[in-house]
Structure 1
Amino acid sequence: MMTAWHDLQARFTAFSVKDRISSGAAVFAVLIALLMSGALYSFHEQRQLTQLLGSANSANRQIERTNALIYAVVMESRGIYMSAERNVARRYAESLLQKCVELVKAVDDWQDLVRAEDAELFGPFKRRIDQFVAFRREMARRTLAVGSTAARELGDNDDNRAVRTALNEDLERLAHVYEARSRSIAAMADQSRWVSLTLFAFGAVLMVFTGVAAYLLHYTIVNPLLEIARTTGRIAGGRIKLLIPHAKRDDEIGQVARAVEAYQDAASRVSELELHGLEVEREHAEFSREREQLEERALTGKWRLEAALKNMAQGLIMLDKSGTVLVVNEQYRNIYGVPASIAKPGATMRDILGHRVKSGVFTGDVEQYLADLMARIKARRPCITEVELADDHVIRISERPMDGGGWVATHEDFTVHRRNERMLVRAEYFLAVLLENIPQAVLAMDARSLRYVFVNRATETLLGVRRAAILGRTASEVFPEPTGAQLESLDRETLATAADPAPRAQSIATPGNGMRDVVMRRLPVAIDGDEPKFLLSIIEDHTRDQRAAA
């Protein structure tokens, strides 16, 4: 084995570098082409398989959906037959119409997925669905117009039963078609796995070839070149008298080695001059590099400072200990309407205040303002204040001392913030008044402790007790048993599911108003999309209506 390997190395070395690389690239290209062809074929098969699988899954879902809706329509129809009260029958009729609409929509959606070869089966099925829906709609129409008696007179005759039987048979035939198609898809999946195994085998061959080629290139081309390069580097470093490796080879590697020998001979004659020149150039390059680095750091620092000042949301002004402006940004000028010719480095606060007085933005005492400012700078006392300008804008000023005796202040327009705070206070007051005066009882409880934290006036009326007897207590502590335990259990269930359940009609025993017939709705309240923090209960008292109906 080793003899064959060395023989292969010897044969490979006999070729020129160009021939070795060209032959290796050709074989590599052939393997890559085969691998890409297989990959494209596999991609095509996988795409077709994915489409067929998606179509089959969609069709199966449509069969299940249609079957469920047919069953729901039949159940609503039975509700009409069995309802003696007209209002109950009307509710079943309205629900029946809704189920018919959903059934027609489901069949229409299914029709969009039907392939050409399935049209022969789907066409009769669609017509029977139309007959089935037409009969049920007529039943609902008679119920709504006359009553359940008219619907029962319409009856469920042999023709309608035959339509339902045919519908079941159609669904069964379509299910068999899709089942056969699923088996075909499974066969395609098996074929795709064999293609993947073939591609894996091609990849393994490519990896082996790449490893062999890399090994041969490394030991016949790269290593010799590295040895020549290392020798050249030693010569360039001043070690002139060295043996150049591979100079006796007849290929391109030997040509490179002999060129290095020529360079070695020339370098030995001018080594002293080169050493001196290199030293001078190295010192000059080092000096130039250090100077460029210093200039770059200075420019970078300046650009960063300018960018920070320009993009600050707040206005900024920096003063020295005498009150002279060192730095001021555009946002500061915009807040007070001071032009850049006034608010600039080198100006004084007296100049800026003078312009603000002329423009009507500043209405205070300039001398007193300057005296207070210089006192704060001297005392190095940070402070945060808010001032209201003549145009009703509110400015928040944050001042603090700097190292070296200077002073920096940021000015931020707080007008919108203050306006929003006032609007929030008004909105909270409006909401409190609204909840206090609505006729429904409103109770809010903490989601963890289940203790009531808010009740309105209608709650006091409904329960017959003052709110002081409700707040801070749980349902089991406020309501008599078993009402308290029932309400607390429903509250926990609603919070556990974090759902918005439908209103619930029930009778409750109140602590001071007897039994009441109510409709209660529970609403979990979350903050910032987190788990519920509160549970809101809205209760409508229907006791009078229920007793009047009885």
Structure 2
Amino acid sequence: MSIRLRLMALIAAFGVMALLITGLALVSLDRYKTMMSEYGAAYKHAYDIERINRMVSSIVMESRGIYLSKDTAEASVFAGHLTRNLDQLEQALNDWRLSKDAEEREDYKLIEAAARDLIASRRTVVKLANEGDIAKATAVGTGDRDNRITLQQRLDSLVVQAHKELAQTQAEAVAFSQQRSQTFLIMALVSIAAILGLSAWAILHFITRPLRHVAGTIISLSEGHLDTPVPEAEGKDEVDALWRAIGRLKAHAIEAEKIVAAQREAERLQALEARQLILD
């Protein structure tokens, strides 16, 4: 394999590493988004329960206004306010009943009967107040006191439970965020170390050390040391090609040296023959 392909393979490995980190980041973001969505749903559920509880308290206050009214006109004012509160409560309960969250629908079932009874009794209170029968309206309203207390106790219990779930969801999100932050930090440090280590190894093993060896051999041959060993390279990378080229150059140099030596020997022999002829 050529040096170019080896370096490209190294770069591809770094690319795969980057893709793995990116994939983990996307998965983490998706999971964190889901957890934030769960946190938002838990927060909304807690808020809705508290809002319904406040509605019940407002209904109680408006009902007491009717009980303490001096005449029908005054009672009708409180009855109007009470009607609006009952309408809002009924709408909130319907929204809760139709929630897409199965756990929220189960929570609704715990207060449904008491809530519906409260609405029914307080609408009767409104009707009686508008008719001027304040005493009977008071009797109906106060007669439903135990049911209203039961309803608010259940709502208070659901609020406590919702806040626990909210705190748990928040804690899980924080723990997940911290854990993934540590994971990304470790992966980043490991990736940087791997990139630096592999790059240094590749440069040293495939480029610096072989080229230094090649350069040393070329210098030695150029200085006339034709006995300098040249490795027999059978690979297909650039350094092996250089070694084969250097091997051919060495062979040519040796051949040229032999030719020069033969010429010198021939010239020496010719000189000896010429000298012999002169002496003879």
Query: Is it true that 1:18 corresponds to 2:5 in the alignment?
Result: yes
Please report how far the alpha carbon of residue 83 of structure 1 lies from its aligned counterpart in structure 2 after TM superposition: 0.8
Q: 1:155 to 1:33 in 2, by over 3 A?
A: closer
2:265 match? none
2:149 match? 165
Q: Distance in 1 between matches of 2:91 and 2:141?
A: 26
Mark the runs of 5 or more structure 2 residues left unpaired by the alignment. 208-236, 246-280
Deviation string, structure 1 residues 380-432 (Cα, Å, up to 9, x no partner): xxxxxxxxxxxxxxxxxxxxxxxxxxxxxxxxxxxxxxxxxxxxxxxxxxxxx
1:339 match? none
Letter in 1 for 2:113: R
Please report how far the alpha carbon of residue 187 of structure 1 lies from its aligned counterpart in structure 2 after TM superposition: 4.1
Question: Is the radius of gyration larger for structure 1 or structure 2?
Answer: 2
Q: Distance in 1 between matches of 2:199 and 2:29?
A: 30
Aligned partner (choices 18, 24, 49) of residue 38 of structure 1? 24
8 Å CA contact 2:50–2:159 kept in 1: the answer is: no
2:182 aligned counterpart, secondary structure: helix
8 Å CA contact 2:83–2:123 kept in 1: the answer is: yes
Please report how far the alpha carbon of residue 108 of structure 1 lies from its aligned counterpart in structure 2 after TM superposition: 2.3
Mark the runs of 5 or more structure 1 residues left unpaired by the alignment. 1-13, 222-249, 259-550
Greater helix proportion: 2
Query: Is it true that 1:191 corresponds to 2:176 in the alignment?
Result: yes
Query: Is it true that 1:204 corresponds to 2:189 in the alignment?
Result: yes
78-87 or 196-205, larger mean C-alpha shift:
196-205
Relative contact order (C-alpha < 8 Å, sep 6+): which is higher? 2
TM-score with structure 1 setting the length:
0.35
Q: Distance in 1 between matches of 2:191 and 2:169?
A: 31
Please report how far the alpha carbon of residue 40 of structure 1 lies from its aligned counterpart in structure 2 after TM superposition: 3.4
1:83 aligned counterpart, secondary structure: coil
1:119 match? 105
Letter in 2 for 1:167: L
1:47 match? 33
Q: How does 1:116-265 map to 2 (within 5 A)?
A: 116-157=102-143, 160-189=144-173, 190-210=175-195, 251=238
Q: 1:213 to 1:130 in 2, by over 3 A?
A: same
Structure 1 vs Structure 2 CA RMSD: 3.0
Letter in 1 for 2:74: V
Please report how far the alpha carbon of residue 211 of structure 1 lies from its aligned counterpart in structure 2 after TM superposition: 5.1
Letter in 2 for 1:169: Q
Q: 1:53 to 1:113 in 2, by over 3 A?
A: farther
TM-score with structure 2 setting the length:
0.65
1:156 aligned counterpart, secondary structure: helix
Deviation string, structure 1 residues 242-268 (Cα, Å, up to 9, x no partner): xxxxxxxx728x98xx9xxxxxxxxxx
Q: Distance in 2 between matches of 1:251 and 1:99?
A: 87
Give the length in aligned residue pairs. Answer: 211
Q: 1:30 to 1:101 in 2, by over 3 A?
A: same
Q: Distance in 1 between matches of 2:170 and 2:78?
A: 44
Please report how far the alpha carbon of residue 215 of structure 1 lies from its aligned counterpart in structure 2 after TM superposition: 7.1
Q: How does 1:71-150 map to 2 (within 5 A)?
A: 71-113=57-99, 115-150=101-136
Letter in 2 for 1:83: S
